[in-house]
Structure 1
Amino acid sequence: MTTPARALTSYWRRRIAATVATIALATALTGCDSPGAISGASDSERPVVLTTFTVLADIAQNVAGDKITVESITKAGAEIHGYEPTPQDIAKASRAQLILDNGLHLEAWFEQFIAELDVPHVVVSDGIDVMDITEDANAGLPNPHAWMSPVNVQHYVANIRDSFIELDPENGEYYTDNARAYTAELEALNQNLIEGLSGLKENERALVSCEGAFSYLARDAGLEEKYIWAVNAEQQATPRQIASVIEFVKENQVPAVFCESTVSDAPMQQVVQSSGAAYGGTLFVDSLSEADGPVPTYLQMIEHDSTVILEGLTGKKQ
């Protein structure tokens, strides 16, 4: 009997293989770039690196500087877990020199996406201290949201630096210097996060969110994590899950709860109505905002989330 997972894998393999074949044929017949080619790639000699989502693109750009063109497959505001690649995405990837992905089963679509492409890729989460998901159908699998820890992102940066040096050894010292400077910023951000949350009272040291995306941040800051669902999926927020969070919030007198920007906060609003907790605000995890939004960079995302959490739990403006 074919399981849904195997059926999905087969579907994506057929779809991506067909699209790659179409792109190859079109290029051979026309001798020119397809409409899906990466913008500016033909006007620059810089290598092109593609990432799976915007957070990785920003981190990688800090290492790349002006020597590499870095682009994200998904756009700002996109939900990464169940993303469906387009033919334009595959066209972009086929013209890249390197693809960076998070790994840890974050990009459910990526294995099939990369399988039909002759493009090297690097898993940027290699080397981190992985935490497992402890609830729901995904229990026992690695929690993929490792980038929510600035400590982990220092490992990301080292892996990105090494991959860029291998791709473009002539500028190896440049990438090393950029990585060192950005790592210092990450360490300062981590210290600010820990210090900012260190003064919370016992019942305030709980981070309640829609998705279980804050395990690494909670570990760094010494917070207890509670969530409605472990990983974003098509079917979310069962009555049992919501009831469990309501009970936790009531028992621990948690002052505020939160939800992520890429999903509906309706289930968490049910928790608010039934528990008496305040809705502390929107947190960013899977995607950065547009350039004119609140979190256009990774550093700003962590700063924003830390401030929203602290203000929500203490009731004081920071």
Structure 2
Amino acid sequence: MRFTRRACIWLTLPLAAMVGSVTAAAANPKVVASFSILGDLVNKVGGNDIELVVLTPVGAEVHEWELTPNNFIALEDADLVFYNGYQLEQWMRQVYATVGNRAPLVPVAEATEYPTRPIVTGEYTGEPDPHLWMDPRAVAAYMKVIADQLSELHPEAADNFQARAAAATETLARLHEEIGELLAPIPEEQRLLITTEAAFVYFADAYGFRHDGVWGSNAETEGSPQQVMRIVDLIEQSQPGALFWESTLSDRYIRSIAADTELPIAGPLYVDSLSEPDGDATNYVAMMRHNAKLIRTALTMGEAEEREAEERDSEADAVEGEASPEGEDAEENEALEQDEDEAKDA
């Protein structure tokens, strides 16, 4: 399969050990992945049949990454480079310049031909949103592209690649169902995700949410005053249960908006990076489960608190009603008050 110039085993080892590591046999091909989530997917398919280096470490913002000397060394030795595409990695021109024609560079998301959704706000409004991996069904398509490319590169291990991809696809189907069940308790009126970066378009489509963000899908286009006011207006109209912030981005915009709108905030959500090895999102499956659980908790907590408040108000009204003088009791109290007034006058 050819690509134009424009045109990731859930980790069994900590991803940090995978970044820059050289552990496999010398005969195995050297493969590079652009960021941690894609690297996790490539590692799932490639296993011990490839040597894998991930350019962007966990916790880093993939949009704004600057290649390091070690990155350039890995690229110069690479037999195959996987990146997401759809302008996620704004620095890919440097990769192309380094690799040249020595190795295939595969834009995995673009190669899937999976249906895209447009970016909803910011400088790149209307362009294909690159965050397809936020839908497990799209990731199943990633797995096929990865397995096919690795099989072409290293035919001796093709059966292994295809078997791992098939097993991963089954896991992804179960994950999709699991997340749907996790999110089912959220009422329709609370199914609005407002995040710092508008990167949940595919997640929202997959699980029945509306979605918006302070800015679009590139952290370089941080929220302008107009973008912030647009989100404030949306919040006032829609009254979501919570606002969310992401692990690789500053939460100052969301905290400022939350202070102005008196809404709770929840986070972190993981979108552009996995977590550190001791975190809650050390691989793709863990990341998606973490996000779903956090969203469910945040968007059902407000409803539970509201029900509790209504119950307390009802109980208070009932107690007040029992204590309030009515009928004969009211007349008796009025008579007692009149007797007391007459006694004072005497």
TM range (shorter): 0.7 to 0.9
Query: What are the within-5 Å matches in structure 2 for residues 186-225 of structure 1?
Result: 186-225=172-211
2: distance between equivalents of 1:43 and 1:63? 17
Match of 2:344 in 1: none
User: Could you tell me which of 64, 72, 75 is aligned with 2:54?
Assistant: 72
Report percent identity of matched pairs. 32
Backbone CA RMSD of aligned residues:
1.8
- SS at structure 2 position matched to 1:116: helix
User: Could you tell me which of 101, 106, 118 is aligned with 1:132?
Assistant: 118
User: Could you tell me which of 82, 85, 90 is aligned with 1:100?
Assistant: 82
**8 A Cα contact 1:51 1:57, kept in partner:** yes
Deviation for aligned residue 1:89: 0.7
2: distance between equivalents of 1:220 and 1:39? 35
Are 2:104 and 1:120 equivalent residues in the alignment? yes
* 1:119–1:41 Cα change, 3 Å: farther
- SS at structure 1 position matched to 2:62: coil
TM-score normalized by the length of structure 2: 0.78
TM-score normalized by the length of structure 1: 0.84
**8 A Cα contact 2:123 2:221, kept in partner:** no
**8 A Cα contact 1:210 1:229, kept in partner:** yes
Are 2:38 and 1:56 equivalent residues in the alignment? yes
1: distance between equivalents of 2:27 and 2:159? 19
1:58-99 deviation digits (Å, cap 9, x = unpaired):
011111121112221011101001211122211111111111
* 1:42–1:204 Cα change, 3 Å: closer
2: distance between equivalents of 1:180 and 1:95? 29
* 1:38–1:279 Cα change, 3 Å: closer
Q: Structure 1: 5+ residue runs without aligned partners?
A: 1-36
1:86-127 deviation digits (Å, cap 9, x = unpaired):
222111111111110001110011133223312211111121
Q: Deviating runs (4+, > 2 A) in structure 1?
A: 37-45, 231-235
2: distance between equivalents of 1:109 and 1:186? 30
Match of 2:212 in 1: 226
Aligned length: 281
**8 A Cα contact 2:197 2:219, kept in partner:** no
Deviation for aligned residue 1:232: 2.9
- SS at structure 2 position matched to 1:138: coil
Query: What are the within-5 Å matches in structure 2 for residues 99-178 of structure 1?
Result: 99-117=81-99, 118-125=102-109, 126=111, 127-178=113-164
**8 A Cα contact 2:194 2:213, kept in partner:** yes
State which drifts further: 39-48 or 258-267.
39-48
**8 A Cα contact 1:260 1:282, kept in partner:** yes
Q: Which amino acid aligns with 1:218?
A: A
* 1:255–1:178 Cα change, 3 Å: same
1: distance between equivalents of 2:265 and 2:26? 47
1: distance between equivalents of 2:124 and 2:159? 41
Q: Structure 2: 5+ residue runs without aligned partners?
A: 1-18, 305-346
Deviation for aligned residue 1:38: 5.0
**8 A Cα contact 1:280 1:312, kept in partner:** yes
* 1:39–1:224 Cα change, 3 Å: closer
**8 A Cα contact 2:267 2:294, kept in partner:** yes
1: distance between equivalents of 2:189 and 2:229? 19
* 1:123–1:232 Cα change, 3 Å: closer
Query: What are the within-5 Å matches in structure 2 for residues 233-248 of structure 1?
Result: 233-248=219-234
Are 2:250 and 1:264 equivalent residues in the alignment? yes
- SS at structure 2 position matched to 1:315: helix
Match of 1:287 in 2: 273
Deviation for aligned residue 1:43: 5.8
Which structure has greater helix proportion?
A: 2
Match of 1:32 in 2: none
2: distance between equivalents of 1:64 and 1:271? 43
- Which of structures 1 and 2 has the bigger CA Rg? 2
